[in-house]
Structure 1
């Protein structure tokens, strides 16, 4: 998929609210990672309106966890902001579950 030119300012603000600074991150083409070796590849694209990349190389586990793209939200600024918060919280919950089910059992000390 084609990355944005920069990270959405609302996403930066939403993450900063929970103590995570992504302001220095930059969107990247996924193509540069397609031939790398991975334990897990997790696609997060939303659905029919988005095309997910296909990692066909050295991948032990593939998983799709779809999320709405809050940058596509339409409505008042308040509603759009609430979508960024909702999706942020959904991502956090889904990846905590992923960690507890898939990663923690590999290294129970975490």
Structure 2
């Protein structure tokens, strides 16, 4: 079974949303996980905007990178420059992709403006996961 790992700095927003979409879109034929260089806890706004897409990530938890999972993954996707730059070395057979996504947790402004940023990042992740699903379907 192919295995994918989504990595970001704190495993609180972007990687959690990517894991949620991947589980829904790629389905049970993939092992899917997410982690961070650090643990920042699950961001409630990420939970909120994913619920708007009928994806429940409320029971997820922030996790540190598991070296065994990393080394046995078929695909590692970093969602920020920090994760890309600080990701531990992976074997040559592990495909690496970088998606440079804005950190919604850094958004400032009114509650509405901050949620807009979370939704924009969420929607970009969904688009990228849908494109990934098409790519892996044609391999």
Q: Same fold per TM (> 0.5)? A: yes
Map 1:1-110 to 2 at 5 A.
Answer: 1-4=37-40, 6-33=41-68, 36-45=71-80, 47=81, 50-52=82-84, 53-57=87-91, 59-101=93-135, 103-106=136-139
Name which one, 1 or 2, has greater alpha-carbon Rg. 1
- Aligned structure 1 segments of 4 or more residues deviating by more than 6 angstroms: none
Which residue number corresponds to residue 29 of structure 2? Answer: none
- Unmatched segments (≥5 aa) in structure 1: none
The one-character-per-residue Cα deviations of 1:73-110 (angstroms, maximum 9, x if unpaired) are 01111110100000000000011111212x1113xxxx
Greater fraction of residues in helix: 2
| Number of positions where the alignment pairs a residue of Structure 1 with one of Structure 2 | 101
Residue 31 of structure 1 deviates from its aligned partner by 4.2
Note the aligned Cα RMSD (angstroms): 1.8
Q: What secondary structure is seen at the aligned counterpart in 1 of 2:120?
A: helix
- Unmatched segments (≥5 aa) in structure 2: 1-36
Whole-angstrom distance in 2 between the partners of 1:24 and 1:2: 19
